[in-house]
Amino acid sequence: MEIHVIGHASIFVKTQDCQILMDPVLWDPHQEGLFDICPERKVIHENIPEFDLLVISHQHLDHFHIRSLASLPKTVDVIIPEDKLIEDCLRQLGYSYIYPVKDFTKIKFGSTSLLATRSENRVPEYGMIFADESGVFWNQVDTIVSLNTIRLIKSRYEKIDFLLAMWQPMLEMNYQMNMSLSFPYAMYSKVLDIISTISPQAIAPGSNAFRCIGGSSWLNQIVFPLTRERFCHDIKSVCPEIGENIFTLDPGDIFKLENGEYSHLKGECKFVNKISDQREDLDFSPVLVGNPIVDNNPDNYDLNDMKAVICEEISVNLVEFIRKNRNFLFIEHCRWQVIYQLEIVFPDGSKIWNFDFSAHNIQAETGRNPLANVFTYITASSFYGIIKHLKGWDYANLGGYYRRFEKLYLPTPQGIIKPDEEAISDPLSFRFPYPKILKQILDNEIAQWNTENSNEEKATVSRKVMMRMGNTLIKV
């Protein structure tokens, strides 16, 4: 069996008996002009092979794309959920052989069989299992799978050779509905629990390979809480028996399964080419939504001096401080395998460092880390002010020049666990403790204002002091 990745949820499946196109989205942008496939791809339409079955999982517009469906042959058999909207649209387009199916309907094509798997989502939808003599492939698509569904499937199939998993705990409407933008721990724990229960022999993250464009591109910072790399990292902990059979599939890739043997053929699809990888655009940064952090350098610090001081502080002093206090201040950071990402926003751009507390020899690595789980953003001028004892944490916090968030947890086969609130402090707060910095700021102000008022006449008349008796002060 071969699975050709067209992009996002669109796949082309070749079994020993037939060829199947599922959820075709063949042009960008789609979803009413809101989305592009990410990574970016080019579909060579004239090279798309002939196919026997067209499968549509549900009516959402990133799966049910009218322009693509209008361009395809209308004489193929079409498998759809029991959704009158989908059926009516297909008939208007000229399709005649349309077969709505119920949950767990089996479709036979020679020795190939398909099984529509139930979803607990409210829209009519299904996942799809493809099985032939080479193995069993389950495309979960966007479906929410119950324990009863998994039990039924396991009663029919000895094992799932390959799972294209629903993996991204998306926050599509949280900002618009004034809901939480925190990492969705409970939702993601359920995702991992489902995968652990299915216990596939091999897995890849499926769907969720798009990005918002144009005026909606700001949503990229809040819709996708998880990186693909982090999901694959977590699967190794949740399903250790899966070994190295964890794959990341891009547009233009082919995945082959043959009796428990797996091949990942990168870029070998003849009708899809990957053009570029813009997945960094999808980095989750909820504290930056709507108001990006900007350094206007209000105190006009010298930019070159700021850069030199800050780079030395992070690359040398902070590293040395962390190593020295690893088994004291940073016990919890190590226990929870913190990967700390620090972004300094300079007036002319940003610079990023990351620190892996699970490493034996902690370093300040430059650049983003897709596995990072604790994040700090701070403007260069406010951080420089803290280093030089010219500004305090109140200035950085209350001025909006400092922001942080975390998506910290440990994956287990039983779900995820996470630390108590406030258990993991920003390493900068240990390096520059609030009370110490505040005292230095106040000392600076005392020196300034005492000097400016040094000519004020000092009181020379002696006076009696107040006396303390128990909890009472008495002026005699």
What is the per-residue pLDDT for 460?
A: 60
What is the per-residue pLDDT for 457?
A: 58
Q: How many CB atoms lie within 10 A of CB 412?
A: 15
What is the per-residue pLDDT for 458?
A: 58
Query: What does the pLDDT profile of the chain (476 residues) look like in tens digits?
Result: 999 999 999 999 999 999 999 999 999 999 999 999 999 999 999 999 999 999 999 999 999 999 999 999 999 999 999 999 999 999 999 999 999 999 999 999 999 999 999 999 989 999 999 999 999 999 999 999 999 999 999 999 999 999 999 999 999 999 999 999 999 999 999 999 999 999 999 999 998 899 999 999 999 999 999 999 999 999 999 999 999 999 999 999 999 999 999 999 999 999 999 999 999 999 999 999 988 999 999 999 999 999 999 999 999 999 999 999 999 999 999 999 999 999 999 999 999 999 999 999 999 999 999 999 999 999 999 999 999 999 999 999 999 999 999 999 999 888 899 998 777 999 999 999 999 999 999 999 999 888 766 665 555 667 788 888 888 888 77
What is the per-residue pLDDT for 454?
A: 63
Answer whether 295's CB lies under 8 Å from 345's CB. yes
What is the per-residue pLDDT for 437?
A: 95
